[in-house]
């Protein structure tokens, strides 16, 4: 297979699977046509690069023309390839808005037959002959490309490097507050299936306790310092988790 065939196969495979399961029908047609659905919408965007999280947080977006780093401009509002009847915010419009807000660039290869980009690079994480960017909404691969896939308020939009070679997309849950030096439990699951994930390393970013999840996907950490802590889960074969922010008092 050539470099470009692999993600296309993945795209078609996921399209095929979603047709069988009926999710394609739901995502493409469940929103009733309306005069203006292309209103600013806040989604929860996360971009997991090769070695680091490039972006994680809310982003306000609406469908708009985007321009890739290599200079190709394309409408990016879900009407691409006639996927949706009316314009609206999309995965890649969110990526584009985040890139402007946070100051990183992205690039894509235009596929005229899909009227969409294949994302090839975000920040410094560039696809290779075997590692590609994947796009997920609520931990499911999107059945179509990022300018075709519309999003709604609160959707968890994830761009993940080497997504097609990962075992799990980690999801981390934990409390918003904890008492200092008290046992605080975090749980790691597979975001798509809910399966409990053992052997994930749960790390307090910028210093603090670290632990490894047990067979129930749980780990207890004790925070020795008060303040705001940010915790995230990692496993070698998986896409790192969302972060959990908690206040220790
Ligand atoms: C948006 O991009 C399309 C090409 O996809 C172009 O035809 C159109 O003129 C652009 N619209 C604006 C407002 O720039
Ligand atoms: C693009 O649209 C055509 C015609 O509706 C369809 O056959 C094709 O599967 C679509 N491509 C993708 C990638 O969704
Ligand atoms: C990630 O780290 C590896 C190993 O240090 C390095 O070869 C690679 O260039 C890094 N990737 C990015 C995008 O920085
Ligand atoms: C996929 O993962 C396996 C096992 O982690 C690794 O050996 C292989 O090199 C990876 N392939 C790519 C394309 O990253
Ligand atoms: C977790 O790690 C232990 C020790 O390395 C190993 O025996 C066990 O099979 C691992 N479990 C999973 C689910 O990876
Ligand atoms: C928490 O534990 C650390 C290390 O054992 C200790 O230095 C600190 O005084 C403790 N803080 C409280 C409020 O108990």
Domains of the chain by residue range: 41-165, 168-248
Please say if the pLDDT value at position 211 is more than 50.
yes
Taking only the tens place, the pLDDT of each residue in 122-134 is 999 999 999 999 9
CATH superfamily of 168-248: Immunoglobulins (2.60.40.10)
Distance 87 CA to ligand 3 centre (A): 37
- The residues lining ligand 4, judged by C-beta closer than 6 Å to any ligand atom, are 130-131, 162, 165, 237
Ligand 5 contacts CB of residue 23 (under 6 A) = no
Right CATH for 41-165 from 3.30.1490.20, 1.10.10.10, 2.170.130.30, 3.30.310.10: 2.170.130.30
144: its two tokens: 């179509």
Please say if the pLDDT value at position 21 is more than 60.
no
75: its two tokens: 């409408």
Report, as an integer, the average pLDDT of 70-78.
97
Percent of the chain scoring above 70 in pLDDT: 86
Please say if the pLDDT value at position 11 is more than 80.
no
Q: For residues 99 and 106, is the Cβ–Cβ distance under 8 A?
A: yes
Helix (H, G, I), strand (E, B) or coil at 206: coil
Rounded to whole angstroms, the Cα distance separating 128 from 1 reads: 13
DSSP string, 127-174: --SS--EEEEETTEE-SS-TTT-B--TT-EEEEEETGGG-S-BEEEE-
Rounded to whole angstroms, the Cα distance separating 48 from 42 reads: 19
pLDDT at 35: 58
For residue 142, give the ligand nearest its CA: 2
For residue 162, give the ligand nearest its CA: 4
Q: For residues 84 and 28, is the Cβ–Cβ distance under 8 A?
A: yes
Please say if the pLDDT value at position 25 is more than 70.
no
Q: How far is residue 34 CA from its own chain's centroid?
A: 27
pLDDT at 18: 37
- The ligand 4 atom nearest the CA atom of 128: 13
| 51, 164, 165, 167: residue to mutate for ligand 4 pocket, most atoms within 8 A of CB | 165
For residue 65, give the ligand nearest its CA: 1
Strand partners, 104: none
pLDDT at 27: 42
pLDDT at 37: 81
Report, as an integer, the average pLDDT of 67-94.
97
List the strands of the sheet with 170-173, edge to edge: 170-173, 183-190, 218-222
Judged on CB neighbours under 10 Å (0-12, 13-18, 19+), 223 is buried
Phi-psi map region of 82: left, alpha, beta (phi>0 left; psi -120 to 50 alpha): left
Ligand 2 contacts CB of residue 114 (under 6 A) = yes
Write the DSSP symbol of residue 164. G
Taking only the tens place, the pLDDT of each residue in 169-201 is 999 999 999 999 999 999 999 999 999 999 999
Ligand 6 contacts CB of residue 181 (under 6 A) = yes
Distance 178 CA to ligand 6 centre (A): 14
Taking only the tens place, the pLDDT of each residue in 112-167 is 999 999 999 999 999 999 999 999 999 999 999 999 999 999 999 999 999 999 99
Residue scoring higher pLDDT (212 or 31): 212
Ligand 5 contacts CB of residue 198 (under 6 A) = yes
**3-state SS track over 62-83:** CCEEEECCCCCEEEECCCHHHC
Distance 213 CA to ligand 1 centre (A): 49
């Amino acid at each position: 297979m050539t470099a470009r065939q692999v993600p296309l196969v993945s795209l078609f495979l996921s399209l095929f699977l979603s047709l069988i399961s009926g999710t394609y029908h739901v995502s493409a047609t469940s929103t009733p046509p309306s005069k203006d659905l292309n209103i600013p919408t806040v989604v929860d965007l996360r971009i997991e690069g090769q070695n680091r999280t490039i972006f994680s947080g809310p982003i306000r977006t609406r469908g708009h023309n985007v321009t890739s780093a290599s200079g190709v401009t394309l409408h990016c509002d879900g009407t691409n390839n006639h996927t949706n009847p009316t314009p609206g915010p999309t995965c890649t419009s969110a990526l584009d808005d985040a890139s402007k807000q946070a100051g990183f660039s992205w690039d894509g290869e235009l596929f005229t037959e899909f009227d969409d980009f294949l994302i090839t690079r975000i920040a410094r994480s560039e696809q290779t002959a075997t590692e590609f960017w994947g796009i997920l909404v609520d931990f499911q691969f999107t059945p179509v490309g990022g300018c075709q896939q519309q999003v709604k308020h609160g959707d968890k939009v994830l761009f993940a490097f080497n997504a097609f070679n990962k075992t799990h997309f980690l999801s981390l849950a934990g409390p918003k507050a904890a008492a200092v030096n008290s046992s605080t439990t975090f749980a790691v699951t597979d975001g798509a299936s809910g399966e409990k994930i053992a052997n994930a390393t749960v790390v307090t970013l910028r210093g603090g306790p670290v632990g490894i999840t047990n067979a129930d996907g749980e780990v207890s950490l004790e925070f020795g310092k008060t303040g705001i802590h940010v915790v995230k889960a990692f496993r070698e074969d998986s896409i790192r988790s969302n972060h959990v922010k908690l206040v220790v008092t």
